[in-house]
Structure 1
């Protein structure tokens, strides 16, 4: 799937960024919840947090893949899904395996949306 490779490349480029390592998509010194503290202490969770945040940010800059859907409607839907993800993620507390699964599910969902929307933006068919 060409769009899957494209989205993987885009995320890879965004993650390459500066030479200093980013532990999470937010400042760990401002972590409040048990989940945020757990993410900041786990390289695997921190990496997944950055990937999910990168996909989310990328989607906020792509046009909707659904014909007739307004940008605002797409953004509102995306933001609602993100808020629900954060509720689900935070319900894990400091349980790393729960957090890993929560991030795996969110990244898979975001990647699907990126693939669909990138196909529209770059005029590429979706599918194998």
Structure 2
């Protein structure tokens, strides 16, 4: 299978099972934003897009990995949320936080894609 077709297959499988993981990480609900970081994310379009991308990657990745690795990723997500929230309203800090977390999740996805088979 060609790399693009393989990636599409991975995403299709993940999206089919992502609904089962919805309770593991709920994307930021701006109507319930409480912390300074959450309010800042909700007011900033690019940070909102980063939140959506990170939440989607998290859902896909956790639906594709084994239970042990899933637990580690969930633990890392909780730690990341604490770190993100510590940024408060600092835009640069929030951007860096999202960029780092997205890169971590993309690395996990690349590892999954490299192993196959599909």
The TM-score, its normalising length taken from structure 1, stands at: 0.70
Match of 1:48 among 26, 30, 50: 50
1:48-95, Cα deviation, whole Å (9 max, x unpaired): 0110111100011113xxxxxxx2211110101101110110010011
- Establish whether residue 88 from structure 1 lines up as the match of residue 83 from structure 2: yes
Unaligned runs of 5+ in 1: 15-24, 64-70
> Higher helix share goes to which structure?
2
Unaligned runs of 5+ in 2: 16-26
The TM-score, its normalising length taken from structure 2, stands at: 0.75
SS at match of 1:115: helix
SS at match of 1:60: helix
Q: Distance in 2 between the 1:6 and 1:95 partners?
A: 35
Question: Aligned residue for 1:77?
Answer: 72
Q: Which runs of 4+ in 1 moved over 4 A?
A: none
- Establish whether residue 123 from structure 1 lines up as the match of residue 95 from structure 2: no
Q: Distance in 1 between the 2:44 and 2:75 partners?
A: 27
Question: Aligned residue for 1:60?
Answer: 62
Superposition CA RMSD, Å? 2.4
- Establish whether residue 6 from structure 1 lines up as the match of residue 7 from structure 2: yes
Match of 2:105 among 104, 110, 117: 110
